[in-house]
Amino acid sequence: MSNKVYYKTEEEIEILRESCQLVGKTLAEVAKIIKPGVTTLELDKIAEEFIRDNGAVPGFKGYGGFPNTLCASPNDAVVHGIPNCKPLENGDIISLDCGVLKNGFYGDSAYTFKIGEVSEEIDKLLEVTKESLTFAIQNAIVGKRLGDIGYAVQHHAESNGYGVVRELIGHGLGRNLHEAPEVPNYGRRGKGMILKEGLVIAIEPMINLGVRNVEQLDDGWTIVTADRKPSAHFEHDVVVRKGKAEVLSTFEYIEEVLKNKN
């Protein structure tokens, strides 16, 4: 990743918005069939077909050698899980991270799904992780600093007793999937790069039920929690603006599907 920060024009932001919205729509297609007994490979196939049908290409497939369209990370897998033939079970959670490339710009978003009925403990982990993303976005405004975003995530997650992953972080987004700056989920208020209008970043809290430490599996991709307790992951693409950040990605399509399934 280059250290050069690229601020986006309004025209570029509109193209980015289309890519980011397509990710939300793709995850909503997957949400329609996600349930106990379904495999992550089945979800992956639906995602790839939907992305291609909408004039885009999967942003992750082949990226750094990754073999699939979705990163599918169940339970203690934090991120970068490879889709497989193992059926999802009632009580599982699964983080689905998806990227698309359309008209030269990337979209990148993640959502952690509940499979069937989950425990209250897991429910709260998901809720707090999502809240930490909301608090982070509230700090993605002109004049704040990167440390303010990281602090917002860290403070909310740790005050609820959770571990905040440090080895994996958010990032700038645009013509490249990973651009400067790096956007950690921890930090100190008032520290780090000052935020300016037109910066587009992917903010993605990865929050563990237990310790913050992680390990990589032998497949060379999957990151799991060191204590093998569950982890949650939510990600939005955001434009730094004056007064209030602009969210380019969306969970609306996903949550509409989930609401209608219940």
Place of tokens 């970043």: 201
Provide the 3-class DSSP secondary structure of residue 172.
strand
Kindly give, in sequence order, each residue whose CB lies less than 8 Å from that of residue 128, ignoring residues fewer than 6 positions away. 156, 157, 160, 162, 207
Tokens of 32: 């329609």
Confidence (pLDDT) at 262 = 72
Confidence (pLDDT) at 1 = 66
Confidence (pLDDT) at 169 = 98
Paired with 231 in beta bridges are 208
Confidence (pLDDT) at 119 = 98
Place of tokens 């602009």: 246
Confidence (pLDDT) at 2 = 74
The answer to whether the predicted template modeling score (pTM) of the entire model surpasses 0.95 is yes
CATH placement of domain 10-261:
3.90.230.10
Sheet containing 246-247, strands listed edge to edge, beginning at the edge strand earlier in sequence: 179-183, 170-172, 200-203, 236-239, 246-247
Place of tokens 């930090």: 187
Confidence (pLDDT) at 261 = 86
**CA–CA gap between residue 234 and residue 98 (Å, rounded):** 11
Closest CA to 173 of 10, 17, 66, 11: 17
Q: Domain extents for the chain? A: 10-261
> What are the per-10-residue average pLDDT scores of the chain (262 residues)?
91 98 98 98 98 98 98 98 98 98 98 98 98 98 98 98 98 98 98 98 98 98 98 98 98 97 79
Tokens of 241: 């603006």
Omega before 181 within 30 of 0, i.e. cis: yes
Tokens of 55: 């004039």
Please give the single-letter amino acid code of residue 198. Answer: G
Cβ density class 106-125: b for 16+ within 10 Å, e for less: bbbbbbbbbbeebeeebeeb
How much is the CA Rg of the chain, to the nearest whole Å?
17
Is residue 105 within 8 A of residue 254, CB to CB? The reply is no
Beta pairing, strands 223-225 & 246-247: unpaired
Closest CA to 139 of 212, 207, 194, 198: 194
* Helix, strand, coil shares, percent, the chain, to 5: 30, 25, 40
